[in-house]
A and B are shown apart, each in its own frame.
Chain A
Amino acid sequence: MKKILPLISILLLSACSSQNLRGTGDLGLIIERAIGQVQLVEHTGNTSLATIKGLGDLSHASIVYSRDARYGYVFGRDGGLTKIDVLQQKIVKRVIQSGNSIGGAISQDGKLIAVSNYKPGGVKIFNSDTLELIVNIPAVYADGKQSKTVGLIDAPGQLFVFGLYDASEIWVVDMKNIEKPVITKFKDIGLFPYDGLVTPDGRYYIAGLFGEDGLAMLDLWHLEKGVIRIMDHYGKGKEKLPVYKMPHLEGWAMAGDKMLLPAVGHHEVLVMDKNWKQVKAIAVHGQPIFVMSRPDHRQMWVNFAHPRNDTIQVIDTETLEIIKTLKPGKAVLHMEFSPRGEHVWMSVRDENRVDVIDTETFEVVKSLTADKPSGIFFTNRAHKIGL
């Protein structure tokens, strides 16, 4: 009996733990870029739950989530595509799908994962369940050369949209029939598209251009209208400052009928009206990288490129004035809002910290230790178009 008692208690304990159910809606993953691991966190109590190792080179890594918000798909720089189960806190599948990749997207129906590759230049589309390759789309342009692909997003209608950095093109891939993808190519859209975004309603795809002024815009409701140039007057006649880090367009902010986005080569956040005309340029601390809207759109949070990346500025979207300047520490790389925006999490890379900040009082609510943290991705992205 003495021997059996512990056995019974173990059985009882394990029975209890299997009853220990939880949802995934308050979970998230933080990239620890230099050591190839992610940290699993929860934003109800703002704690770290686990570390998941073995993800390879995670510089510039990003994550999308399955529609049940249980699986995170991590896109690593080394071409690694890793599927993580956030409930079991482990890797369930990992493939090396290219030599050098930059990001990815999940389809509207959640069944496909697309990955954007630099080398070999193109996009590969995988089964989100098994990570088996379904379609390989080399980004072939002039003379059979392959372009690096950038700004890959999902859009309604089982679409994936991306830019060809070296070829000045935007491609739209319709995956309604996985046996027969339909690719529509738009050429001469402008020099060096370096990133892209889709508006939160999934209608407009906008590519930033590094080689020219302005942005390239495609109305996904009306592909027949082609790519048009917006804000092309911007920047003319002004000497650009050196850009030590490319801005990101993802997470750019829409507030009412205004849109805010980072300028390139100017220490400004640009404000556009709904006709895509620039109505204001807000002078800010440095070259903006992310201009991110708090979920209620009342505030815009901005971080900056090296060497001014120790600072965050907050813009009020009604007055378009800077209402707060914070100095969280060296190299603030990324921010992520809690789903309803009472907190924002930010990675302070060179201080090995992730701070949780109250967006009303601007107080630090909590600091977590993390190794060279970069991107922070909460599971509520699972239900957002273009994320």
Chain B
Amino acid sequence: MLKTGNILQTLSFILLVILSLNRYAHASDNRQQELQHLLKHDCGSCHGMTLKGGLGPALLTDSLKDKPDELLFITIKEGRPGTPMPAWKKLLSDSDIKSIVKILREGLN
């Protein structure tokens, strides 16, 4: 009897973990969408909504192919002194910035 209780407990614990993982996945999906939106509409105010450039340079996959991930990361995080590119670290976490670099590599859909 005790054993069944244990199994039930374990099962419900596993279920809980699965549920919370699922929820976490949803949350990060949402964040992903927010970042896509940010990139398109807010980064887009200087780099163009399709990222083909404006006052700021083009951010198309092709135009960035010679730039290492670290450079993109640090540019977003710290900005580029001497240009209008601001540091985004107050608004974006490191993992946000990594996601943005990934989106830039894959191209905005």
Chain A residues close to B by CB (< 8 Å): 33-34, 57, 59-60, 77, 100, 102, 118-119, 148, 150, 165, 192, 194, 210-211, 242-246, 306-307, 331, 349-350, 372
Contacts and interface: CB of A to CB of B under 8 A. Distances in A.
A331 B40 CA distance: 13
Q: Secondary structure of the A side of the interface? A: loop
Contacts of B79: 242
Contacts of B84: 192, 194, 210, 243, 246
B32 interface: no
A243 B86 CA distance: 6
B55 A245 contact: no
B45 interface: yes
A133 to B, nearest CB: 23
Nearest to A210: B84
B53 A119 contact: yes
Nearest to A195: B55
B101 interface: no
Interface string B44-59: 1110111011110000
Nearest to B53: A100
Nearest to A119: B53
B82 A33 contact: no
15 contacts: A34-B41, A77-B48, A77-B50, A77-B54, A100-B48, A100-B52, A100-B53, A100-B54, A118-B53, A118-B55, A194-B55, A242-B79, A246-B84, A306-B38, A307-B91
A57 B48 contact: yes
B48 to A, nearest CB: 6
B35 interface: no
Given A244-B42, A349-B41, A34 B86 contact: no
B90 interface: yes
Contacts of A118: 53-55
B87 interface: yes
B82 A211 contact: yes
Contacts of A350: 37, 41
Contacts of A245: 42, 45-46
Contacts of A349: 41
A102 B38 CA distance: 21
A243 B83 CA distance: 11
Nearest to A244: B86
